[in-house]
Structure 1
Amino acid sequence: MAAFLSRGIAGTLGGICLLLLVCLPEVAAATATDTTAVAKQRSFTVGVGAYSNSTFFGRSQAEKFPYWTTDLTYKAPSGVWISALNYDLFSTTTLRDETDLSIGWDWDFTQRLDGSLSYSHFFFSPDSPLLKSAVSNSLDGYAGVDWGFLYTRLNADYVFGEAQDFFLVLDNSRYFEIDNALSTKGILSFEPRASVMAGTQSFVTTSIEQQLNRKGKGRPGGTGTTVTTTGTRFSLLNYELRVPVTYSLGKVSVEAAWRYLHPVHTLADDTSKPLSIFSGSVYVTF
């Protein structure tokens, strides 16, 4: 198990080092006069998580794919961040079924308005069974408003690769916190979130075609497929409810979460159905 974990983290660490080179000029911009401020804002987070199933923008496979992740994230004082996330499916023999390298920028317009922009590139193992393997890049952005009693965020996502799709996701959440939980420094927090998603779903058709061709179930010669629908129409795709519970003590945070997804307007060849996903994760921030 130790070797298994070290290999996964080693692969992820290689990706984070590559991205650090990209952000080196930004990090070096800090002067000696703002050392104190930098020390208070700069962070490096390491995380490990386990999930009961895999989904991608409201869609899932007929087969259940539980997986675990290793996650490394660095955030600079300016709000620029880089991350490397490694996925390992329990049902495969490979240690790196997917690795995501991301770079982004988070900022606060005011105390009530915030936003983010990011780019991610995805690497998959050969013959990946994941729906997500139909795309290899993602451009993401959001704008959020804190109403006091509610936090509303509108996300826009463009994914591209063998398939191209665009999504809009509207989130509404509320953060609750209990101080001095189990310890004078312990914090117990809850942030239930309800989401509605709309977009295209070409990635579903492309992924189904990939899987059929790999299994030789397409047209004679294995070069075609039996897929009869496309996903180029923009429509409502999914409703989601997420309830995470997090306990933080110093630099360590432990989270347990439940998600319920209800897909709508699925394609004729799509096997997505309503499902619950459970997850647990541990993060350490330096």
Structure 2
Amino acid sequence: MKLTLASIFTCFIFLALYGQQTNDSSEKVTYTLAALYKTNIDYYGQVTEEKLPYILLNGTVQLPFGMYFSASSYKFLNYGSGIAGTDLSVGYDYGFSDRFSTGIMYTHSFYPSNSPLLQASLTSNINGSASYNWTWFKSALNIDYAFGHDSDVFLTLSHSKDINLGNLFTEAEQISFEPSLELIAGTRNYYETYIRAKNQRGQEMGNGKPPDNPGNSGDKIEYVPSKSFSMLSYNMKLPISYSYGNYLAELSYQLSLIAPSEEGFKRAQSFFGIAFYYQF
């Protein structure tokens, strides 16, 4: 595993240096600030028993040759009083042509010890991506290796179509709609740790100890997850965005259908979100 990780980061450094030499050095550094609200937090379409609406703040610095650095923090609106999690990422994107592009990213996450998140045992993630623009739509393939207390692998295949809906008043505006379909497969070793942590919180409540955070049902669930690679969920996303100058606002809806083989989750989940971006 150490050899594999070393190989990935060696490739990452090579691509970054190659991109720095081949891209136009006259391009400027860009900064993006974002704020997002979503009615529930999901992990590859899957959610916890407790509904966890949240807000997220993000800042990203994009260098001219394709490397970027990003930091995000989010807070649940109905669970606890502190920060629910923080993500720090470094990545590199490279476009081989107008149609084909690739990317690699490493993310490390920080969660509180009593986090109710499904992925709380997976504190690091390496993501590799490739996308191709066909004549009528765009296809993307993402491979994620998540590790920490447990380790899991996820594969996401998506197809999307960017539709320009024109503008309202001036040519500086743009309204766009980008529906997409995602098929997600992977392993679920993380779920065993999640259930154990949930049962532990339930036992503490049963012993008369106050919960660390409100909203936790404390229900005990006995479940041994399959360690095999299988379908996890099918997602449909319907985002519509409005941009003007350096500003962009987006409304989104997501429908996730959980694979029948995945026990412990509701079969269908709906999510609504709103996001604002500013780039300079």
CA distance in 1, matches of 2:204, 2:230: 29
CA distance in 1, matches of 2:52, 2:226: 23
What is the match of residue 211 of structure 2? none
- Give TM-score scaled by structure 2 length: 0.83
Deviation of 1:178 after TM superposition, in Å, equals 3.1
Distance 1:72 1:65, change over 3 A: same
TM-superposition CA deviations, 1:37-79 (whole Å, max 9, x none): 223xx21000111000011022111111000000100100011
What is the match of residue 230 of structure 2? 235
Distance 1:196 1:138, change over 3 A: same
What is the match of residue 262 of structure 1? 257
1:212 aligns with 2:199: yes
The question of whether the paired residues in 2 share the 8 Å contact of 1:152 and 1:170 is answered with yes
What is the match of residue 157 of structure 2? 170
1:274 aligns with 2:268: yes
List runs of 5+ in structure 2 lacking aligned partners: 1-12, 208-219
What does residue range 187-206 of structure 1 map to in structure 2 within 5 Å?
187-206=174-193
CA distance in 2, matches of 1:111, 1:105: 17
1:72 aligns with 2:59: yes
CA distance in 2, matches of 1:226, 1:135: 21
One-letter amino acid of the structure 1 residue matched with residue 48 of structure 2: Q
Secondary structure of the corresponding residue to residue 133 of structure 1: coil
Deviation of 1:149 after TM superposition, in Å, equals 0.3
Question: Aligned residues, how many?
Answer: 250
Distance 1:30 1:137, change over 3 A: closer
What is the match of residue 249 of structure 1? 244
CA distance in 1, matches of 2:268, 2:92: 33
Distance 1:143 1:30, change over 3 A: closer
One-letter amino acid of the structure 2 residue matched with residue 77 of structure 1: P
Distance 1:226 1:72, change over 3 A: same
1:125 aligns with 2:119: no
CA distance in 2, matches of 1:87, 1:81: 20
CA distance in 1, matches of 2:32, 2:61: 6
List runs of 5+ in structure 1 lacking aligned partners: 1-22
Identical-pair percentage: 27
Deviation of 1:126 after TM superposition, in Å, equals 2.8
User: Which of 81, 86, 93 is the aligned partner of 1:99?
Assistant: 86
Deviation of 1:132 after TM superposition, in Å, equals 1.7
TM-superposition CA deviations, 1:200-248 (whole Å, max 9, x none): 0111121111111122279x9xxxx863412311001100000100100
What is the match of residue 87 of structure 1? 74
CA distance in 2, matches of 1:65, 1:266: 24
What is the match of residue 16 of structure 1? none
TM-superposition CA deviations, 1:164-219 (whole Å, max 9, x none): 1101110000001134333231000111000101110111121111111122279x
One-letter amino acid of the structure 2 residue matched with residue 38 of structure 1: E
The question of whether the paired residues in 2 share the 8 Å contact of 1:81 and 1:105 is answered with yes
Deviation of 1:134 after TM superposition, in Å, equals 1.9
- The CA RMSD over aligned residues, in Å, is 2.4
The question of whether the paired residues in 2 share the 8 Å contact of 1:168 and 1:197 is answered with yes
Distance 1:262 1:185, change over 3 A: same
Secondary structure of the corresponding residue to residue 134 of structure 1: coil
